[in-house]
Amino acid sequence: MKFPGLTSLYGRIFAIFWFTLFVVVVTIVLLFQLDPRTGQAIPEPHLKRLEYTAENINQKLNTPQNETVKKLQLEQKIKRLTKRKNNHDIQIYFTTLDGDIISPQKHTKALRNFITIADNPSAPKQRLYGRWMMAGPFLINTPRGGIYMYSGQVWRGPSPFIIQILDKPFKLLLVTMLVSTPFLLWLAWAVTRPARRLQQAAERVAQGEFTADPNLETGPREFKQAGASFNQMVGALNTMISGQQRLLSDISHELRSPLTRLRMATALAQRKQGESSELTRVDTEAERLENMIGELLELSRMQVDSHQQNERLDSQTLWYEMLEDARFEAEQCHKTLRYNALQDWPINGNPNLLISALENVIRNAIKYGNDVIEIQFTVQQHLLTITIDDNGEGVPEAELDDIFRPFYRVSTARDRDSGGTGLGLAITESAIRQHRGTIQASNSSLGGLNITITLPLAR
């Protein structure tokens, strides 16, 4: 099996996991080393006090006397010295060099255990037994030979933090989690960062932005390969869509020439033979076909040039003139168009596409509304919402989601008899989607159709 390299996601996860485990184990081992219940070196201030005590005891036990008195005095002095000093809560112990306790006192069990780990007077230690701190040994020279001195003292301070951790499994687990959290966050960041970039690129493609992102080809090897494949897919989609749009544009241009000649022939025939229902019908259908081809060309240009000519705009400058023209047009049709005051809301986008998108919806409302068209602009949470309502016949509920499809024509008289091409709302939907907005249709409270458009405001 090949060992994974650090350039791969597998290798990075493996390395970070084991590094985290290593740090946690080292931290726990260090915590145990700091446990005062293990043998540790005596702090310098306390060590000096104990050395001073040992020196005083050494002087007391070596006072010159005859042999008989000397022996009695030595035993009495040792017994007196081993009595606990209540004012300091200190107990002095003496042992032979072989570890036998001289004149046993309280806490001799702790002393016997401590002797097993501390028997070198050149390196005295201390250890905590419950609330009792043992320290030593210190060499004492007596007329009968050397002995060891140990001291015991009540630990009156708070329970050491290390003991609180080591004696409480929950706290030990909490410390382990705190130590490992930065590394686990680093691992999560390393894993999710390229995944988020890939997700954001996919969302941009879903919104119609077919642009390759070179940042996708960075990071772990697996994500580099996925990013490169994604960019290749985007490039292939761009090529395919561009080819389709060029084909549609070429076909539309080619169809315009025979249509122009057909309309000219129809006009000549009407001039020679006079008006007739047949020639009028031919001219009407030719005109409708020419309008459809023109809208197809507009839709094609919109999809091909969706990311060109983008600029920062304000809503009032963008739509005010178009809204005034629409109001005038509605008045000529004996209809009322109302809209609330525009403000300088900032928008990033293509001005021609945004004007055309809103104008298509408003002109449809003027055409199909009975006599009232209402337009409402509102801003909330960095989103501009535009609602267009009319009091016409509306659209059947089952067909509301289909009216944005190219060439779709509803079954009602709303556009069946109007000569519409079924491309106006498709053009609007394409323009709004390219500006990262949304458009929805519903039945209006006025009785007709409601179109709701949302666009993100520029930051």
Burial class (CB in 10 A: 0-12, 13-18, 19+), 404: buried
Of 46, 88, 107, 253, the active-site residue reads 253
Smallest CA-to-CA distance from 345 within 307, 302, 301, 315 is with 315
Separation between Cα atoms, residue 280 and residue 282, nearest integer Å: 5
* Integer Cα distance of 428 and 361 in angstroms: 7
Q: Rounded to whole angstroms, how far apart are CA atoms 384 and 454?
A: 5
Radius of gyration of the CA atoms of the chain, in A: 46
Place of tokens 């209006």: 444
Q: Is 253 a catalytic residue?
A: yes
For β-strands 336-339 and 372-380, DSSP reports them as: parallel
**Whole-number Å distance between alpha carbons of 111 and 127:** 10
- Which amino acids are annotated catalytic? 253
